[in-house]
Chains A and B, each alone.
Chain A
Amino acid sequence: MSWIAIKMLVGDRAKFLGIVIGLTFAAALITQQGSIFCGLMLRTCALISDVTGADLWVMDPGVRFVDDVKPMLESQLDRVRGVPGVKWAVPLYKGNGRAKLTFDPADLKAKTYPPDRLEADRREAAKSSSPSNAFTKVLDLFAPASGDFSTPPPRWYDPAEVNVVESVNLIGVDDASMVGAPASGSMVGPGPRGRMWVGDLEDLRRPDSIIVDRVGLRKFFPGCHLEDPFDGPSESDEAYVERLRAFVRSAPEIEMNDHRAVIVGVCEATRTFQSSPVVYTLYSRAKRFMPMERKMLTFILAQAGEDPGGAKLAPTEVAARIRQRTGLGAWSSQNFMFRTIKYYLIYTGIPINFGITVFLGFLVGTAIAGQTFYNFTIENIKQFGSLKAMGASNGRIVGMILLQAAVAGALGYGLGVGLSSLFGTRTLDRWGNPTELAYFTPWQLLPVTAAAIVFICVLASLVSVQRVVRLEPAVVFRS
């Protein structure tokens, strides 16, 4: 009977398409909105995910999330090192610095652009416009006086010089081990975040040196197109990296809180929730950049050691020991990520806003698919009645309807998740990193979407099934 059920389903193409489109819409919306939500949540803990090598984060017990900076006395570092099970512990500074840049875009372009591109850029210079998108254009209609984000206007005597003041995420890593700094790795092609593009970590030992993240270059050097390769004609990854090398070779200087700083490298960092540029330097230098306070230690990064038998201790177990013995907050990296996400879930309206969208997608999908499927069954009620009259049991008829729902559901789910994934891949940059749109589809989202689609199908079929089960086969003799 299953082949009859499937032929009945696909035979009425308009209705079949209606059912599948409804389910596709629901699946796509749930997956897409869920992925954006997960992507955003991951950005909230960008620093934690970028730090490799350390199992444990130790902090003031009042810290609720990674940006909730509550400095500690540096003596806490020694206390943590003294806790049994801690293999090593190093300091990490995290704070908001203020970067000031004064540069001549034409000069910077001359140092970094290939000659042909430089010439083309000179021709296009007059046409350059301020950064905007479709949303800001609509906003400009209602609030034209809100200004734009074009290259900051010259403030000094020289109109050719650009003056930028930018709030940055300043990370100070341990002077000796550099734990917490971007790992060295391949500079071209997709790779894990937290990698160096240009320069070497050892360069941080040079005086006043800093490393900045690639996307942050957009804010530091607006209009100089250092943040990504040129689109048309497309610039190869190698050529782009060479351009970054030329940029670093030019030893660009900035001011970090009125202290001289020299960019010696460019790394890839996960975009933060606020999309602030990320600046890495040594712990001691970060303290020098920032206004002096009695407490400067933001986090302690540690690694769990081994038990007497040589087996690695569980980070959660060592974290519990640190909490117990020092009174500090201590979490494994994974738990600190979830703790940060939990903070955003509780204290921001993000989950509610996304939840409403997902719920609306679910409702609309249910309404379209459920109603179409129900109509499909009702229009075939006489056919089902005929089958019942001819000796098909209720069980077989119900099986046919459930099979029809399952086929439509599987198709809708596959198409919806596929479309959503396609959308997701289109939002990634050429190295596979999220760009403007935060997008991350964890595998757990797929069964959640599947469960929602199954629920829609079951709901739609149950309403249809009860009509068919109650159907008197004698209906077939009513003309």
Chain B
Amino acid sequence: MAVEPGPAVAVHIRGLSKRFGSGDQMVKALDGVDLDFEAGKLSLIVGPSGCGKTTLLSVVAGILDADEGEVSIFGEVITKMGDRAKTRFRARRIGFVFQQYNLLPALTAAENASIPLVIAGWKKADAVAKAAEVLASIGMGKKVASLPSQLSGGQMQRVAIARALVHEPSLLVCDEPTAALDHESGQTVMGLLREAAVRPDRAVVVVTHDNRIFHFGDRIAHMDDGRVARVEDKSPDLSAA
């Protein structure tokens, strides 16, 4: 069945299932998930550990194959793409923020933030210059030459956000971005995500179980046992603006 998402829907998920293992050891991580994430909104996926929220995010981000169902991002069905097409799609359209930042320790903040541009084929000097601009825009202008070992957790996560935004993706996926941070840094990072990342032509999806940041979400999908238990909508649609 063809999927035709509406113009405000950035991520359209239908009948998504994912199993791990086989036989008695089989675990249903996702069990027929239907969900939409809208452009211009910051959506949260929340739930207890093992409920399948990270698996859902991985499939949505195109780094894990689903067993059944369909995912489209701004109209492009990624579940039907081959590996190469999916890799190219990720490089072009998706930005990642990881729980442990995953910065390369030997690269400076600007070099780390420039990686998506380098993957896209930019020259090093141009990519680093652009990354430095993005870092400056999120208040890290004085740290462009710092190595990750010289940064605090919050600063590292800000570099990671700059890295996720530098190539201006359509979808930003964040996995527990505040889990390794203290309360204040977590709030700062989430505030930054709201300010810098949310745009009418971009969706931001955050997986978290940190209830101190729930108030940043425009839409909160509660998951349990591989299914979406309920969805809370908290703000008007910004994409219409």
Contacts and interface: CB of A to CB of B under 8 A. Distances in A.
Interface string A1-18: 101100110111000000
A108 to B, nearest CB: 68
Contact of B96 (A1, A10, A390, A478): A390
B100 A4 contact: no
- How many B residues touch the partner, as a band? 20 to 34
Interface string A438-459: 0000000000000000000000
B234 interface: no
B239 to A, nearest CB: 25
A477 B104 contact: no
Contacts of A386: 96, 98, 102
A437 interface: no
A477 B87 contact: no
Interface residues of A, number: 27
Given A389-B63, A390-B116, A391-B120, 9 more contacts: A10-B106, A11-B105, A388-B63, A390-B91, A390-B115, A390-B119, A476-B98, A476-B175, A479-B100
A385 B96 CA distance: 12
A477 B91 contact: no
A479 B119 contact: no
A391 B90 contact: yes
B221 to A, nearest CB: 17
Contact of B179 (A8, A396, A479): A479
B80 interface: no
A1 B106 contact: no
Nearest to B120: A391
A393 B118 CA distance: 12
A291 B61 CA distance: 95
Contacts of B98: 386, 476-477
Nearest to B95: A390
Interface string B80-124: 000010011111101010111010111100010001101110001
A392 interface: yes
Greatest chain B CB density within 10 A among A7, A12, A386, A387 is at: A386
A387 B57 contact: no
A385 to B, nearest CB: 8
A7 B54 CA distance: 31
A474 interface: yes
Contact of A392 (B89, B102, B111, B119): B119
A383 interface: yes
A4 B115 contact: yes
Given A386-B102, A479-B179, A474 B115 contact: no
Instruction: Please classify the interface of chain A as helix (H, G, I), strand (E, B), loop, or mixed, using the class held by over half of its residues.
Output: helix
Given A474-B58, A477-B57, A389 B106 contact: no
B64 interface: yes
B108 to A, nearest CB: 9
**Residue of A4, A389, A390, A474 contacting most chain B CB atoms (<10 Å):** A390
B124 A390 contact: no
Most buried by B among A1, A8, A391: A391
A472 B64 contact: yes
A64 interface: no
A7 B106 contact: yes
Interface of A: 1, 3-4, 7-8, 10-12, 382-383, 385-393, 396, 472-474, 476-479
A477 to B, nearest CB: 5
Contacts of A476: 63, 96, 98, 102, 175
B124 A3 contact: yes
Contacts of A382: 100, 102
A430 B132 CA distance: 59
B87 A391 contact: yes
A140 to B, nearest CB: 54
Counting chain B CB atoms within 10 Å of each CB, which of A392, A474, A477 scores highest? Answer: A477
A327 B176 CA distance: 90
Contacts of B111: 4, 7
A3 B100 CA distance: 23
Interface in B174-188: 175-176, 179
Contacts of B176: 479
Contacts of B116: 390-391
A391 B115 CA distance: 10
B90 A390 contact: yes
Contacts of B90: 389-391
B104 A8 contact: yes
Interface in B114-141: 115-116, 118-120, 124
9 contacts: A1-B119, A11-B104, A473-B64, A474-B64, A476-B98, A477-B57, A477-B58, A479-B100, A479-B176
Contacts of B64: 472-474
B79 to A, nearest CB: 14
Given A3-B124, A477-B58, A391 B175 contact: no
Contacts of A7: 104, 106-107, 111
B55 to A, nearest CB: 8
Given A390-B91, A390-B119, A8 B99 contact: no
A473 B96 CA distance: 12
A7 B98 CA distance: 22
A390 B160 CA distance: 12
Contact of B118 (A4, A385, A472, A477): A4
